[in-house]
Structure 1
Amino acid sequence: MTEPVPHTTARVLPSGIVLSVAENETVMAAAHRAGYYWPTICGGHARCARCVMEIEDGAEAMSEASDEERSTLRKIRGAFRPESERLACQTTLRADVTVRRRGVRPQEPRNQQ
């Protein structure tokens, strides 16, 4: 019998979606695994900042930002404010959080050809 993978939850506002986030999994990867679309242009490489999420509660429960994430947020958003916003494609969790990101929604089924 395998042991369960430790997980935390990310509550996404305004949709109210609650994601189960596995250990060492990014918030965006957890959304994709659960069948949700999370807005991105670069596909999770910390280049576009399209996946940025506002932190409502739990900033202290988020992983430390990489130099790449800091640089992208400074360049695109004008500043790096880890207490108020992070990239979902780079952020892992140590405890439950609440974030705000419009556009997170169930993925549309792909056309069957």
Structure 2
Amino acid sequence: MLSTLKQLITDVDGAWAAAISGLDGLLVESHSATDVDLSLLVAEHAGLMRATSQAYSQTLSGGQTRELYIRAERLSIYLHPVGQEYFLMLAIDGRSNLGQARLYGRDAAHRLEAEL
């Protein structure tokens, strides 16, 4: 798992952290190019992922959430489900290429699912 997360950060321009987490908000594995504690970042985004999944599948009848992207001024987060209980989080700077994050993130999520 760790090698997949490290490779993801290397492959995506502007990526500085990648993690796999349970939807319960508990960090399973992570790698960061900074000294940021990813536990809080993962816990906050687990709540967003759960709320989005519930809203789209139950309230809006839109089906399962396939990915979630949140962009702020200095931080962007790409989330991709990994199986039914986990998700991949990729943290990138605010100027990074979303298409590249999605392409490499989706591939990493599929590899991580096989490892879980």
Computing the radius of gyration over CA atoms, which structure comes out larger, 1 or 2? Answer: 1
Q: TM-score, normalised by structure 1?
A: 0.28
With normalisation by structure 2, the TM-score equals 0.27
Structure (1/2) with the larger helix percentage: 2
